[in-house]
Every structure is written in C-alpha cells, then in structure tokens.
Amino acid sequence: MTTYDPLFEPEKDAHVGVPRLQQAIDRARKVLDEKAQANIHDRDEMIRAAYGLHYVLHDLLAALDAERGEQS
C-alpha cells in the first residue's frame, strides 16, 4: 500500500476499449496541443495535463500493440 494515489493502478484501471490507431494518433496530437497551453506555474493545470497525457499515451500504445497483433 502506498501513501499516495498513483496515476494508474492496473487492477483498478483496466483498459476497456482500444481505439483504432489513427484515432489514437489524432487524439494524442489534439491533447498534446491543448496541454501545451497549460500554465506551468499552476499546480492544478499541471496535474490535469499529466492525467490527460497519460491516458492518451496509454491509448496510443494500446492501439499500436493491437495494430501489431500484440496484447497489452
């Protein structure tokens, strides 16, 4: 047990659906552009940026694995 809440817990945060690769790429680009505007001095914005980027990266890697026929 940790003294903090991790960003991702595999047992609790199972990947429900895998997007198509092009959708995952498009979403990753969109979120990256959005989060680039975040104020680096605003703790809440940085937390939201980390959270958003984590999940689009997770989806992108799952889509790449699916494209190659691998399981994540």
Q: Spell 30-39 as b/e; 16+ CB within 10 A means b.
A: ebeeebeebe
- Contacts by 3-10 with C-beta closer than 8 Å and gap 24+? 7/50, 7/51, 7/54, 8/54, 8/58
Q: What is the pLDDT of residues 26-48, one digit of tens each?
A: 999 999 999 999 999 999 999 99
Q: Which helix (H) or strand (E) holds 46?
A: helix 43-67
pLDDT at res. 12: 66
Q: Rounded to two decimals, what is the model's pTM?
A: 0.75
User: Domain segments of the chain: what residues?
Assistant: 28-67
